Structure 1
Amino acid sequence: MSTRLAAAVARSGLDEQALLKAATKEAYERVTVLLTTSYADFSPEQQRRIRALLDTAPAARRGKASKAAKAPKEDLPPRFWLPHSGATWSGRGRVPNAFLSWEGTVAHTEWKKTHPDQRFPSYPG
């Protein structure tokens, strides 16, 4: 235990854990007041750093630091598109509702006659 902490524990009459809990509560209240009243006064770079700290802190506390360190998901180029609406889909994940709704329409039936081996029109390019 550091000498400052030992002196503070002796002065307060509280045990070390209670003193640390009280100090943490006070620090939380100060940070909350500062951020709610003065966030706009920080520079954009400072705001970005604050957001980064706030976004990573809960994941690290729960032991999910490996997931937080994972690279962000890249946007995949579209593989399919619907010419009438311009809706696109990369072909990964769930099929978008626009594509599901298009299946079974007259336009889909006509297109399917000339493309029997494809489910959706390929993205041009």
Structure 2
Amino acid sequence: MTKNMEHQFSMLVREIRKEYVGNGPKEITTKFNGAWAISEMRGNLTNVEKFMIHSEQGKQMVHETRTRFVKEIYKKPEVLLKFENLMGAKVLRLFSDINIEEDIAMTVFVFDQPIEGK
């Protein structure tokens, strides 16, 4: 049952990223651990962003913009509600970062109760 929920969670992450960013990651893997949902996303950058990261200034700009933008998306009550309805738990906080060189992003959702085993 957990694998199915992890897959559903990953699909929800993809749907939200597509809706707000314009494209979703090529690969998403989500694992539940206690009250945490940890989503690893590969293949996040657009062609324009890939071009921009050829300079240090471009890397910094893409990293800062992506990180801030993703955090803003997850502040929206309607977005949080989708995750809370799926998991039957309230999202308390979120941590997000991206490694520009490897094109890997990680988002950790912290819920108010254990979600592992759901």
TM range (shorter): under 0.3
- Which protein has the bigger strand share? 2
- Quick check: which has more Rg, 1 or 2? 1
Task: Tell me the TM-score normalized by structure 1.
Answer: 0.27
- Which protein has the bigger helix share? 1
